[in-house]
Amino acid sequence: MKLSQAFKMAWKSILSNKTRTLLTMLGIIIGVSCVILLVSVGQGATSSVTAQVQGLGSNLLTVSVTGRGDHNSVTLKQAMEFADLEGVQAVAPTVSGNVQAKNGSKNVNVSVEGITSDYEEVRVTGVQSGRFILPIDIDYTQKVALIGTETATTLFGTESPVGQYVTLNGMRFKIVGLLEDKSTTKTTIKIPLTSAQRLLRSTGIRTIYLQGESGDTTSIVKALAEQKLDKIFRDTEDSYTVTDQKEMLETVSSITDTLSIALGGIAGISLIVGGIGIMNIMLVSVTERTREIGIRKSVGAKKRDILLQFLIESIVISSISGIIGILIGVGGGALVSKITSMSIEASLNIILISFGFSVFIGVFFGIFPANKAANLKPVDALRYD
């Protein structure tokens, strides 16, 4: 039997039971669309987080001090000494805490961060209007502030906050700059480091950002920073951590990739269930068409012809289901991205793998029913009632 003839017969059989075929296809359709949608969400999250981390630069290191007992921070002088290390281009120590920000009758609890002028370069953080913190602000403990976009909207509405005043825990600060609209700065207020130490009543530094001269020097800078911290904390390594931006990026990528695989695996279970549905319906089809099989065999159809006919029928069902599932998955991803502003990335590889797996399901779960039909003896098939 020719392959084209087998496809025609399979298509005719599928159309003769439209409702039953559609219900059989639903399992594969749901499985493929869920795999594409969930993996696309995972890949989109990976790309989004990776872009944010890379935006901070590959030459950034973060020193986090936990300390032991009362010795749980470093002084500003000790923090600035990291600038003398080989390979360090800039240093940005910070102090942070939560304060009550108020403007008239409007108030909100926000995170405040005390920074230096080098923070702009080290953390790649700028202002969209106004100016950044200057060295003179640090030296003279000026009561000036930079405000995030969401906090500005909460306190000042549609008015420009630059030039206006905000009260932080009872202390009045003049807003000199509106921060860029970035996820890391939207809900924060940044003030000079010395002003933050007074506001938060904390002179100790627990977080220091180091900018290496290049991405290739970060490992050297990390080793030197750890040596310096060992001297400060007398070889107690659990008193601090030094995090390389590259390591952070690798960790984030590993977590999100694992999440994508897990989501894809969970969605893939429905593909297996859909395959079982195909096998079930094909077994029913073999039983219903036993006499047809007997007649075909009695007029010369070979075992191979019967096997091919039912196997192609199973593959056609799974292939069409895969195509519909792809369209729904890609379309659903675009809709979710539009509604939620979530980053969705439907890669061609995932689409091809999903389609290939749906075809494989059709072959794998179609072999048993097709083989059962091919092994029927003509005499027994013709007797079937």
Mean pLDDT along residues 248-259: 70
Q: What is the pLDDT confidence band of residue 198, given thresholds at 50, 70 and 90?
A: very high
- Give the HSE-up count for residue 226: Cα atoms under 13 Å, Cβ half-sphere: 14
Q: Would you say 178 and 130 are in contact if contact means Cβ atoms under 8 Å apart?
A: yes
**Amino acid code (one letter) for 288:** E
Give per-residue pLDDT as tens, 9-41. Answer: 767 777 777 777 787 788 888 888 888 887 787
Torsion of CA 318, 324, 326, 328, to 10 degrees: -140
Say which range, 184-193, 224-233, 356-365, has the weakest mean pLDDT.
356-365
Question: What is the per-residue pLDDT across 34-54, written as a single tens digit (0 to 9) for each?
Answer: 888 877 877 777 776 666 655
CA distance 270 to 153: 45
Looking at per-residue confidence, does 279 or 121 come out higher? Answer: 121
Neighbouring residues of 45: CB distance < 8 A, sequence distance ≥ 6? 256, 259, 343
Beta bridge partners of 241: 64
